[in-house]
Structure 1
Amino acid sequence: MTSRHRAARRNRALLYALSVSGLLTALPTMAQEDQRKDESDGRGMQLAPVLVEGVGLGNAAADANLAADIDREQIETFRPSNAKDLFRGESGVTVSGSVTANQKVYVRGIEETNLATTIDGARQNNKLFHHNATTIIDPRLLKSARVDAGVAPADAGPGALAGSIAYETVDVGDLLAPDRNLGGYVETGYETNGDTWSTLGSAYGRQNGFEGLLFLNNADGDDYEDGDGDDVRGSAAELTSGLGKVAYEAETGNRIELSYERVTDEGVRPYRANIGNIIGGRPVPETRIYDLARENVILSYENTRADGLWDPQVTLAFSGTDLETTEEALATGDTIQYRADSRSYNATLANEMHFDGGSVNVGIDGYTERAKFFSDFYNSEEEADNVGLFAQARVNASSRLALSFGGRIDHQDFTGTNGQEQDNTGISANAAAEFALTEWFALEAGASSSFGGIELAETYIQNPDWEYDEIDPVRGKNRFAGFTIRQSNVTFSAQAFRTDIENGRTPSFGDGPALTRDFQSEGFDVSLGYDWTTGYVRAAFSSVDTEIDDGAADSFLGNYFTVPMGETASLTAVQRLDSLGVTVGGTVELAFDEDSPASGGAESTDAIQEIEGYEVLNLFVEYVPRRFDNLSLRASVDNVFDEAYANRGNYGQEFATVEPLQDPGRSFGLSARLTY
């Protein structure tokens, strides 16, 4: 990077700092002026509740290792359209890619397939093709998204090598006012960059204990432009999603629910959907069609009023992901199609026993999964069956000490593409504690060791002629330590962490199914938050170093495990002006230059280069007319300063022969929602 470019970047960073500092200075002042206006006209002002707590309340140890905890209010405030938008304010969670079809979630540098990922309790098994997304999600369907980094509880499910991600979709109770039985909304929006239109709507109701909900969303557009004004081919929005739920809840609290959720993304993408271009690579078409679909069918039972020693929960689920790629052969012009699918049939039966000072959740879970590849040339399939017993305690041992600890034992049967079988049994354990030294200062620490069995190979690299040697089961080891300060409406926390994944499976079509590598991520997170009655501001900083087999990581050798991450930061601010019916807010995404991201590996001969940093500012304003409070009008500007950049998680930025996928440049958005 030249000195002129560095100076320009410093100037842009200064503009961001000035913009954000001005916003932060103005927010409390605007809130005070807003309150004075309400008091002067005699109307008064309804304030949001203020939570003032010291450390040690609740079971703080269960939340000591949270990397993100996004609730419905945050989702409604920012209205994210994809996973990157959803986690935009979380420096410890990075989302690669730029559209739904190629986005992957990295938690403290570790890719999401190494975490126990669930949607409404349904286990996800989505390792299809390394160029596309793993768990595609439409955040507009969500009630919450919780990410436990590293140390995960035993009841998060099997395979929690580096933590867990739990997505929860919306229920009728999240959308419908308590005094209403029927409701719904329609919304339309437009984004200038890519000429993208989105149309979504929902209808929901309840009567005599019965509930029903239907949600549909469609986004369609053209290729967007990056910050340099260049078209990014294969970047057009092609998202369709839907959610349907029916439920019955008796007066006793017994609740049974059946849901169906489906998300699809079908469109023309770069030939390698997560890469802009490979310089000097083998001749391939510029683009091909990726037809990607994920669905869940879930039947669940719980008692919403249960306490004491009997609080059962039952989940029976099917989750599946399908991918079909279509391309034109350069030599013959023939159309070539490949198809892959993954299937997971999984169930959990648990009972949480509540007592003074805490609870213990015990249960059994299991899954039957397969990953299958289809083509005109060959078919292949791997399968795995697993059953696990678990127990997790969450206990307030005293007014100052909170504990969370548990364990599980899993037995897995694995079947390879040639029918060869292997079985393994392993034990997992976890423990975390928070100790309050004072009413406002607490220390926290935790550790875990998690058995993961044999992970199914990516479908697109499966080989029906593989000869299986004994495959070592994968294990994840995690530890963290830090402190939290909670004083009135200020929260400050800092945490150091390390994750080791031993015997991570890295099969190759030509080199066999039993290859493994060791992966490591370590670093620290720092966050600071300040809340007031009508808004908040939160800042976070993460430093993550990743390694493969004791050498620096790169995104080629780290496929499905890790990428060079370095240092990232985020800033989020929101302010309500209730007397005006206005909410304003924004986020800042920062990534710092990474001078030596990787050393290269045995299979990677590409020259290693510096990964450039970036600064991205996003702003929005929402207006709800006081006389028409069922109407919401919204305007936004993403990437205000038209930064040309590739998100830190995007593949191949450390290689001189790779042109990484570029993220969108500046985009103006307008939307309107009508609630009935």
Structure 2
Amino acid sequence: MKTTTAIKGLILTSALSLHGMAWAQETVSKEPATETTASSELDAVVIKDDQELKTRTTLRAERIEQTQAEDIKESLKGISDVTVGGGQKSAQKVYVRGIEDTQLNVTVDGARQSGYLFHHQGRLSVDTELLKKIDVDAGTGNALSGPGALGGAVRFETKDAEDLLLPGQRYGALVKARYATNADEKGGSLGFFGKPLDKVSFLLYGNFAESGNYHAGGGDGVGFTAGKPKSGLGKIVFTPSNEQKLTLAANLREDNARRSLRNHFGDLPFNPPNDQEFGSQSYTLQHTYNPATPWVNLRSEVYTTSTKMSQETTTSKSEAEAKSFGGQISNKMDLGSLNSVTVGTDYNVDRSEGHRATGTESETGRIFGLFTQGVYRPAPAWTLTAGFRYDNYDLEDVSSEMINSHHLSPNARVGYQFNPMWSAYASWSQAFKGATPMEAFVMSGVKGVAPVSNLKGTTADTSEIGVTAQVQGLTVNTVVYHTVMRDVIQVSTNRTTGIMTRSNAADDLKFQGVNLNANYEAGDYVIRGGYSHNKSEYGSEPLGYAVSTKGSAFGDRFVFGVDYKLSQYNVLLTWDSLVAMELTDVPSGSVEQPGYDIHDIAASWMPNERTRVGISVLNIFDKKYVAQGTPYQVQGAVNPIFEPGCDVRLTASYLF
């Protein structure tokens, strides 16, 4: 539904009023980059410096609910060094410091999201309505980041009954309705949860929506973007004692629609629509055991995931499926006030299958890992961290040949606290990723395999220097980094012969830049700001907005946000801005990609602890733009897929 001129006028007036009110306070905020956690409801975005787990950015459910984020792009837009491109939801890809999510370790409730169906579509499908928090670890992972964390790790955690039960409640229910104007979207959620026994809780949660094609800025329709997604979450938590916790979770999602063959391209002659079906499911069993001894803090988990997609025309049907299962076990030993050590192992199996009328092709990969990470504090001001991962990759390729690679990846970090206001660190980390199953849709067309000769696994090395300053509520974090990915594994298929080739890229991929976050909290105001500069190169040439499974280039990015809480009325007002500068550093022959600035506002009211009403306006100035991270020029044509224009969203929820 196209927003009327009258509604737009009211929106712009309200937005400018809020913007002026926010700037008049001369304050800037975000939680300090320490382990301190503020109690304010405004504290929904946290940068936490954990010596074992790298500098981590956490987005909590409060932030997602306040802004009425409906997808990964909208949820992560406040993190300056994270970019999500792709246009419509089914095509979104996450880039952390320019590195694509295929080179990150991504988990949902501990289940690895390793399925790779089609490089023209998004790999991650997560219902933000069900999320409790998102953790983003930027930069090459350390020993605890899991296998294949070349560019870092992203962890999604869903809610459980304890997050929804009111004080004193044994059973409850949640009903939520929402409406969005841009695509005439209607949706709702229904949840049942309870704690029938002191040691047992359960949650059953379902979410559905229906929308038409959305409109880009200015009102132009974007074809084949309608959808009817459905998702569900089931979770049981058993706490037999204060020392143990057992959690069983099931995540289900379905999204069927008529879409373009290549979801992240615009309307082009070689990009016809077809009927697509998508479904995913994951199951996770997690156990923690932390008795009254410093030697045991045990964590273990097993998982299984399955993702399927089909594309059907009047003459043919193709199907792709990715399955994974695995687990990990680790133990953290507290060796006293000066140091601690975590040791563990993990094992994962990934299988991809492509199905066409000509038959079924498949590949199966196995990853075995051992890891340890330690923290040593020789003096109160000093912190030394070091560890390593050993990974062994085995791949049975489409021709039943075995490909093996293994590597030991070390890491080290030194931190120093100059005084209560200033601290700094320097770190170096390495991660490794061997050959893994190729994308399932392309695999189904393979007719032969070129001989593999001395194929190496990919290694990533990241060097970082970070400085943190804290002065009376003001926190400034600055990180300078340099990442080099060597022996990048490339998989290509000759469209004429059908011969698939695996090889190492001739040149290195390089990502270097700086990320700055400034934060300040004062009274009922929280204001946060960030800046990111990233330079991406393949060899000595700029990477540009290449259609690549490894990374992409971006213009400089600025993020800015203001929260203002009217405590006496239980009302929270939010303003968020993203400014992406023009991408000029592109390969020869490519056009430059324009920059853009996007501004959103939101307000929520909680008249009581059971009721919540929200309104948000995304892209309030109805900007027509293509998100960086989306292919801009394709086969000589500049006809990309545009992002949604102005969208007014209304939500209402009630807890029984």
The two structures have a TM-score, normalised by structure 1, of: 0.87
- Note closer, same or farther for the CA distance 1:231–1:177 as it changes in structure 2 (3 Å cut): same
- SS for the counterpart of 1:641 is coil
Which one of 132, 142, 160 corresponds to residue 143 of structure 1?
Answer: 132
Matches within 5 A, 1:309-320: 309-320=295-306
| Candidates 624, 642, 646, aligned match of 2:626 | 646
1:436 equivalent among 417, 433, 438? 417
- What's the counterpart of residue 411 of structure 1? 392
Aligned to 2:3: none
Map of 1:340 onto structure 2: 320
1:465 paired to 2:454: no
2: distance between equivalents of 1:615 and 1:49? 27
Distance in 2 (CA, whole Å) between partners of 1:464 and 1:175 is 52
- In the other structure, the counterpart of 2:70 is 81
Partner of 1:253: 243
Superposition deviation, residue 554 in structure 1: 3.3
The amino acid across from 2:484 in the alignment is D
Gaps of 5+ in 1: 1-12, 30-45, 329-333, 600-606
| Separation in 2, partners of 1:21, 1:368 | 54
Displacement of 1:306 in angstroms is 5.7
Other-structure match for 2:40: 48
| 1:21 positional shift | 5.2
Matches within 5 A, 1:350-499: 350-357=330-337, 358-462=339-443, 463-470=446-453, 471-499=455-483
How much has 1:193 moved relative to structure 2?
Answer: 0.3
Q: Compared with structure 1, are the counterparts of its residues 562 and 151 closer, same or farther at alpha carbon in structure 2 (3 Å cutoff)? A: closer
Question: After the TM superposition, which segments of 4 or more aligned residues of structure 1 sit over 6 Å from their partners?
Answer: 15-19
- What is the CA–CA distance in structure 2 between the aligned matches of 1:50 and 1:119, rounded to whole Å? 25
Letter aligned with residue 297 of structure 2: D
Corresponding position: 1:108 with 2:92: no
% of aligned pairs identical?
24
Q: In the alignment, residue 525 of structure 1 is paired with which amino acid? A: N
Instruction: Determine the C-alpha separation between the residues in 2 that align with 1:544 and 1:86.
Output: 21
User: For residue 34 of structure 2, what is the aligned residue in structure 1?
Assistant: none
Match of 2:230 in 1: 240
SS at match of 1:84: helix
Distance (Å, rounded) in 1 between the aligned partners of 2:175 and 2:382: 48
Kept in 1: contact 2:236–2:248 (CA 8 A): yes
Partner secondary structure for residue 129 of structure 2: helix
Q: Is the 8 A contact 2:406 2:457 kept in 1?
A: no
The whole-number CA distance in structure 1 between the counterparts of 2:290 and 2:186 is 39
Instruction: Give the structure 1 partner of residue 503 of structure 2.
Output: 515
Q: C-alpha distance in 2, partners of 1:234/1:100? A: 12
Residue in 1 that maps onto 2:254:
264
| CA-based RMSD | 2.5
Q: In structure 2, what residue type is equivalent to 1:352?
A: K
Cα contact 1:390–1:408 (8 A) shared by 2: yes
Q: Compute the displacement of 1:108 (Å).
A: 0.6
Cα distance change on mapping 1:140 and 1:304 into 2, 3 Å: farther
Give the deviation of 1:485 after TM superposition.
0.7
Cα deviation for residue 305 of structure 1 reads 6.1
Unaligned runs of 5+ in 2: 1-11, 29-37
* d(CA) in 2 for partners of 1:573, 1:49: 13
CA apart distance, 1:562: 1.1
Q: Secondary structure in 1 aligned to 2:564?
A: strand
The reply on whether 1:619 has 2:601 as its aligned counterpart is: yes
CA drift at 1:109? 0.5
| Contact map agreement 1:59 1:396 (CA 8 A) in 2 | no
Q: How many residues align?
A: 621
Asked if 2 retains the 8 angstrom alpha-carbon contact of 1:394 and 1:404, the reply is yes
Q: Residues 187 and 394 (structure 1 numbering): CA distance in 2 closer, same or farther, change over 3 Å? A: farther
In structure 1, C-alpha distance between the alignment counterparts of 2:199 and 2:96, rounded to whole Å? 39
Larger CA deviation: 217-226 vs 296-305: 296-305
Structure-2 residue corresponding to 1:4: none
1:578 offset after TM fit, Å? 1.4
Are residues 394 and 171 of structure 1, via their aligned partners in 2, closer, same or farther at CA, if it must alter by over 3 Å? Answer: farther
Q: Which moved more, 1:614-623 or 1:263-272?
A: 263-272
Question: In the superposition, relative to structure 1, how do residues 64 and 388 fare at CA in structure 2: closer, same or farther (>3 Å)?
Answer: closer
- Which amino acid in the other structure matches residue 48 of structure 1? S
Q: Is residue 412–residue 423 contact of structure 1 (8 Å, CA) maintained in 2?
A: yes
**Per-residue CA distance 1:475-532 (angstroms, 9 max, x = gap):** 1111111211122311111111122211222211116321332322111111111123
Correspondence list, 1:193-232, <5 A: 193-206=182-195, 207-232=197-222
CA distance in 1 between partners of 2:69 and 2:513 (Å): 28
CA deviations over 1:145-174 (Å, ceiling 9, x no partner): 111111323122111111111111112222
Q: What residue number does 1:536 align with? A: 526
Point out the more displaced range, 452-461 or 218-227. 452-461
Output the amino acid matched with 1:480.
Answer: E
The structural deviation recorded for 1:254 is 1.4
